[in-house]
Structure 1
Amino acid sequence: MSVQLNHTIVHARDNRESAAFFADLLGLTITQEWGPFVAVTLGNDVTLDFATVPAEHIAPQHYAFLVSEAEFDAAYEKITARGLDHWADPHGKQPGEINRNDGGKGVYFTDPSGHYMELLTIPYGGWPQR
């Protein structure tokens, strides 16, 4: 078996709020709730296990998600409809815009716990030659 990421724990002020925000934004579902975790499963079977922790224990992390053009457009529509701050760049110097890096689309925004989220339709450097 090759090495694969199975799951990661995402610290949140409110695990259900953060999981619901993420699942709704990307058209996913909450797949499990057990112990302190509320899980959302991605298309490659990796789960994001949201866990409530005290706010002072949350160190903002960066999570980047490769999505289809249709998924990007649907999520971006929700981002703008909700009035969420978003940027074309990771430094926040291009507010209210998306980027067109590598011929695709990309956007940065924060989740309810302050994590830096990124959606992109083409991986950095483009698709590998096969």
Structure 2
Amino acid sequence: MTIELDHLLVPSHDRYAAARQLAELLGVPWAETGVGPFCPVYVNAGLTLDFDQAEGPFPVQHYCFRVSADDFDAILGRIRAAGIAYRSAPHGADDMQVGHWNGGRLVYWNVPDGHVWELLTVSYARQP
């Protein structure tokens, strides 16, 4: 049996701005409307992040994207060009550094909604 994650809901105080920012950073398409009241970000052919408008507090989530070295460089360039602070570790101060782990690179950044986004080139969850 094959199981694939199809979509996730991402709570946001401004679903349009949050979806647009992530899509622009990743270099993927998005839409102001989708199925239901969501702003979808089409991460790849099999995964959509549906940004949902949320009122009041909501739990902070962590989302991680594994990409090629070339895509890492391109996305990090867009993060820098957008003036977004980032760090080399999941927690702590924004040190504007790239972390290195198991022969790969990684960075973390937060968005105004508080979610933590991670970009890496080598998975620590799945070893070769």
TM-score, L = length of structure 2: 0.89
TM-score, L = length of structure 1: 0.88
- Extract structure 1 runs of 4+ deviating beyond 4 A: none
| Equivalent-residue separation in structure 1 for 2:78 and 2:8 (angstroms) | 25
Identity of aligned residues (%): 36
Q: How many residues align?
A: 127
Letter in 2 for 1:37: F
Q: What RMSD, in angstroms, separates the aligned Cα atoms of the two structures?
A: 1.8
Q: Which runs of 5+ in 1 are unaligned?
A: none
Contact (CA 8 Å) 2:5, 2:46: kept in 1 or not?
A: no
**Are residues 111 and 93 of structure 1, via their aligned partners in 2, closer, same or farther at CA, if it must alter by over 3 Å?**
closer
**Are residues 108 and 52 of structure 1, via their aligned partners in 2, closer, same or farther at CA, if it must alter by over 3 Å?**
same
Q: Say if 2:24 is the partner of 1:29.
A: no
Deviations 1:52-71 (A, max 9, x none): 111x2321100000011111
| Equivalent-residue separation in structure 2 for 1:102 and 1:125 (angstroms) | 11
More deviation in 40-49 or 105-114? 40-49
- Equivalent positions of 1:114-125 (< 5 A) are 114-124=114-124
Q: Could you say which structure has the greater relative contact order, defined with CA pairs below 8 angstroms and 6 or more residues apart?
A: 1
Letter in 1 for 2:51: F
Q: Which runs of 5+ in 2 are unaligned?
A: none
**Are residues 58 and 125 of structure 1, via their aligned partners in 2, closer, same or farther at CA, if it must alter by over 3 Å?**
closer
**Are residues 30 and 91 of structure 1, via their aligned partners in 2, closer, same or farther at CA, if it must alter by over 3 Å?**
same
